[in-house]
């Protein structure tokens, strides 16, 4: 079997790590992420473009500036209130709080700080505002099958 290079229409399976610009590990994904290259899936910071032409076994390291990763930190998505105004189940760092705007759009906020009787929630992605270093290991590259393009449960049977 020849080593296939990543190009549009190929099934790609990879793992990755994300570190901050100081090299501190922020996220490690050891469970393979699979996608059809050139399809609708867009990977963080142009990772899908960076792996083009690579083969199974290759590794790449790429720098991802904040505007190509999770965007800048938006201070308008951070709110602080008296802890007395917040239900007790949210009185811990990392608690998820669902909020809804006037239009009915829901967004998840996370409790990021509790200090001096105040509780702060933040709707930004935890990696927003950070430049990142992404390391990718390509595990598999092959021709995509019909099953790859139509995962179980999304297709229909024809009689």
Q: Which CATH class name applies to 10-70+129-149?
A: alpha beta
Please write the tens of the pLDDT for every residue from 46-96. Answer: 788 889 999 999 999 999 988 888 889 999 999 999 999 999 999 999 999
Instruction: Give residue limits of the domains in the chain.
Output: 10-70+129-149, 75-122
Residue 69: burial class (beta carbons within 10 Å; 0-12, 13-18, 19+): buried
Neighbours of 85 (CB within 10 A): 8
Is 0.85 surpassed by the pTM of this model? no
E strands, 37-153, in order: 59-64, 78-82, 96-100, 106-115, 118-122, 132-143
State yes or no: pLDDT of 40 exceeds 70.
yes
Please write the tens of the pLDDT for every residue from 99-125. Answer: 888 888 888 999 999 999 999 999 998
Neighbours of 106 (CB within 10 A): 8
Give the CATH number of domain 75-122; options: 3.40.50.300, 2.40.10.330, 1.10.10.60, 2.30.29.30: 2.40.10.330
Tokens of 144: 């995509």
């Amino acid at each position: 079997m020849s080593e296939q290079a990543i190009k549009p229409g190929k099934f790609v399976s990879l793992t990755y790590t994300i570190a901050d610009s100081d090299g501190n590990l922020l996220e490690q994904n050891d469970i393979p992420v699979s996608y059809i290259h050139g399809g609708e899936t867009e990977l963080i910071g142009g990772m899908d473009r960076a792996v083009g032409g690579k083969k199974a076994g290759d590794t790449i390291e790429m720098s991802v500036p904040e505007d190509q990763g999770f965007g800048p930190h938006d201070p308008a998505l951070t709110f602080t209130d008296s802890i007395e105004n917040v239900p007790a189940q949210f009185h811990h760092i990392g608690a998820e709080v669902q909020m809804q705007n006037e239009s009915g759009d829901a967004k998840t906020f996370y409790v990021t700080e509790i200090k001096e009787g105040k509780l702060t929630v933040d709707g930004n992605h935890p990696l927003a505002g950070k430049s990142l270093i992404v390391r990718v290991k390509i595990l598999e590259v092959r021709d995509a099958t019909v099953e790859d393009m139509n995962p179980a449960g999304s297709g229909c049977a024809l009689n």
